[in-house]
Amino acid sequence: MSTEETSRFVRLRVELVLEVQDEDEVTKAALSRLTADPDLPAEERSQAEGAVTEDTAEALAYLVDPFDLVSEVPGVELQQASWSSERIDCDPDSPDWDLDEDDEEDDEEEEDGIG
């Protein structure tokens, strides 16, 4: 297949598991970013402040920006991004921890040529 026949778009899937060592520090950083955002309407700011104060996972979702991950990569432009966060139980030494069920299903679909 020639380069002209292939898509220029690439889906890059990244999954990160972070250990939060200081929840207060994460919350403060998220609140600081909210305060510094001049484009955020007051009502949305209030809702976001409540969310990041109540849940460290929400604070992380607000702090981690996919654009920041690729903004310095030459020759690419971010077209679309979505991300979420959730608290999980993590045992990195467990052999079952590598992939969750959704990842395994996605891998099977890709191998079958689906998705």
Residue type (1 letter), 37: D
Cα(111)–Cα(105) distance, integer angstroms: 10
- Domain of 25, in residue numbers: 17-87
Residue 35 lies in a domain: yes
Cα(110)–Cα(94) distance, integer angstroms: 25
- Is the pLDDT assigned to residue 110 strictly greater than 70? no
pLDDT at 60: 93
In a 10 Å sphere around its CB, with 0-12 CB exposed, 13-18 middle and 19+ buried, how is residue 98 labelled? exposed
Radius of gyration in angstroms for the set of CA atoms belonging to the chain, rounded to a whole number: 18
Residue 46 lies in a domain: yes
Cβ of 31: how many Cβ atoms within 10 Å?
A: 17
Average pLDDT, the chain: 82
Q: Which of 44-48, 68-72, 96-100 has the highest mean pLDDT?
A: 44-48
Query: Based on the structure, what is the number of domains in the chain?
Result: 1
